[in-house]
Amino acid sequence: MTTILYREITSDGQHTEIIEEFTQLDLKKFAEACGQSPEWVLQLLEYDILPSRPAERIHQFFGEDINRARQAYRLQRDFDASFSAVAMMLDLIDEVQKLRKEVKHLNFQHS
């Protein structure tokens, strides 16, 4: 099943951009899809907020990275958090989600 990610662009009217999960984006297009600057995106890479990638593909992004970047932006905005704080919060959120899946799996096995 393919997840379709989308972004509504309201600056020029009611334009909607559809971005598939495995669509490859360069730095500029990715930044536009996130509604941020390329410099902001580079900070996400510097603080390991986005998954690491080989040096030859450092500026290659996928549609699935947009969710992570948007989540980072919301944390930064809502909590006035630094990039290092956002990285830590996202690591904790990931860990909680992983633990919830494990508990759900264990509960399923014992049912």
- Class of 4-109 in CATH: mainly alpha
Looking up tokens 């984006």 gives 25
Contact between 63 and 25 (Cβ < 8 Å): yes
pTM to 2 decimals?
0.76
Contact yes or no for 24/57 (Cβ under 8 A): no
Positions in the chain whose pLDDT score sits under 70: 1-22
Count of beta carbons in the 10 Å neighbourhood of residue 96: 10
List Cβ neighbours of 25 (8 Å cut-off, separation of 6 or more): 19, 33, 60, 61, 62, 63
**What pLDDT score was predicted for residue 77?**
97
- Residue 64 has a pLDDT of 85
